[in-house]
Structure 1
Amino acid sequence: MLTFVLWLLLLVFCWPVALLALVLYPLVWLLLLPFRLVGLAVEGVFELLRGIILLPARVLRGRPVA
């Protein structure tokens, strides 16, 4: 909601910049989407490695694996 109010203020005070931001926002989002997907994949790999490395310690302590 705050973002929308700020955009409306920008529209009132400097409408060309507000319209440019309105047009460029989806393009920037599309450009950044592959980086988000790579970040999710890397995070998944790190969690998998963490689970593999910490599994013996969990089994030795008697904690449930799940």
Structure 2
Amino acid sequence: MKFGMRTPSLRKSISARTTGRLKRSVKRQLIPGYGRKGMGVLRDPKRAAYNAVYRRTTFGLGDLFK
């Protein structure tokens, strides 16, 4: 488990900001439960627990400038 600052990645940052609203709306229509709160725990509990801890123990560049 990582503690502290996340390694910045320009490519991943751009990818996250440019994933479009159209793509999300199509997935929401096709995949039942997509984008609903709590579905990650049902789909993969181990991954959801890891992500919950990771989100609380790390920080990124954006968090430093807030």
The TM-score range, normalised by the shorter chain, is 0.3 to 0.5
- Greater RCO structure (CA 8 Å; 6+ sep): 2
TM-score by length of 1: 0.36
Higher helix fraction: Structure 1 or Structure 2? 1
**Bigger Rg over Cα:** 1
